[in-house]
Structure 1
Amino acid sequence: MEYNTQRTRLHLPEYGRNIQQLVERCKELPTKEERNEMAAAIVDFMGQRNPHLRDEENYKHKLWDHLFILAEYDLDVDAPYPFPTREELAQKPNKMEYPKLQGDYKFYGKSILQLIDKAIELEDGEEKEALIEVIANNMKKSYNVYNKEHVQDEVIFRHLKELSENRLDLTSIDSLEKSRIYYSANKNKNQKNNPKKRFNNHNKNRKR
């Protein structure tokens, strides 16, 4: 009886020992034509055994790379793709750059940064002022949800200045409740919650 500890190490365990043995047999074939034919058959078999790989981009290329790994980077065949080297596969990926929003501001989310960039690009005017107020209101909502506490508007104004590198400023108003966005939103909300008031307003409009 042969134990797994006495067998050769599986280079890619997900393919199993049978496929690895086929690869080892392929390496022993005397002619390149025979090796080419068997290598192509093994790759097809690997794809059948792992159908989920078909959903990935360039899955055929990946299967041929896996074949070469199973062969311990020593397989003399004509492959449709260049084989990777040990050094290439052992190379660690480059460190990913973290998004700009980190630390104290991560709860605002990437969409806030995109809105800030959009507001900076706009020319001075009502549209820009309205967008800045929308940004500040959304920042306040995000802050309250994340920190589970009420935040003063002056804190939001300060964060907005820092995130926009001092290019967006709302310090000219005392609070967000005095902004046009807040007033308009609450006016519509009050009308929806007060059917009688809506009815009276409708009658006034009809009389006019």
Structure 2
Amino acid sequence: MEYNTQRTHLHMPEYGRIIQQLVERCKELPTKEERNELATAIVDFMGQRNPQLRDEENYKHKLWGHLYILADYDLDVDSPYPFPTREETQAKPKRMEYPVLQGEFKFYGKSILQLIEKAIELEPGEEKDALIQVIANNMKKSYNVYNKEHVQDEVIFRHLKDLSEDRLDLTGIDSLDKSKIYYASNRSNKNQKGSQNNQNRRRNYHNNKNRK
């Protein structure tokens, strides 16, 4: 009886023992023509065993790469695609860089930073002022949701100045009507509260009617 510990290591267990044995057989064939023929048949078989790969882009290229990995990077055949190296497949992915939002600013999120950079790039004018209003409005919404408390406008102005590294300063823009900055969010909150109150009144009306 042959035990798994006595068998060749499965380089890609998802393909199973049968395909691994076919690859090993392919490596042992004496001529390159025979190896090429069997390698092509193995790749087709791998595609049949894993039909989900066909939905991926360049799935044939991926299958040939898997064939080379199954052969432990040692297979003398003519591939229509360049084979991967051991270093490429074993290389660790690069560490993702996250936006720096520390301390009291972490709840604003990356989108606020992107909007701030966009506003900095714009020339002074109505478009820039309008974008600053959008930024301040969303900053106040994020602050209120995260901290569950009402924030004073001056706090938002200070945070915006700090996040923009003093490149956006609401107090220094004469053409900006700061009284309108939070009009949209306040109106939205009032509408939501009004809608909720209407629902509560309708619910109470039906409850009272059912009791009668």
Q: Which amino acid aligns with 1:149?
A: E
CA contact (8 A) 1:154 1:171 kept: no
| TM-score, with length taken from structure 1 | 0.78
Cα offsets for 1:116-161 (capped at 9, x unmatched)? 1222233323432232122111111112222333333332222211
The corresponding residue for 2:155 is 155
- CA gap of 1:190–1:6, structure 2 versus 1, over 3 A, is closer
Residue 183 of structure 1: how far off its partner (Å): 3.7
1:34 partnered with 2:34: yes
Residue 58 of structure 1: how far off its partner (Å): 1.8
**Gapped runs of 5+ residues in structure 1?**
194-208
1:98 partnered with 2:98: yes
The corresponding residue for 1:134 is 134
Name the Cα RMSD after superposition: 2.8
Matches of 1:95 and 1:188, distance apart in 2:
40
| TM-score, with length taken from structure 2 | 0.77
**Gapped runs of 5+ residues in structure 2?**
195-212
Residue 111 of structure 1: how far off its partner (Å): 2.2
TM alignment of 1:70-89, pairs within 5 A? 70-89=70-89
The corresponding residue for 2:44 is 44
Q: Identity rate of aligned residues, in percent?
A: 81
Matches of 1:103 and 1:59, distance apart in 2:
45
Aligned residues, how many? Answer: 190
CA contact (8 A) 1:130 1:180 kept: no
What secondary structure, in the 3-state scheme, does the structure 1 residue paired with 2:182 have?
Answer: helix
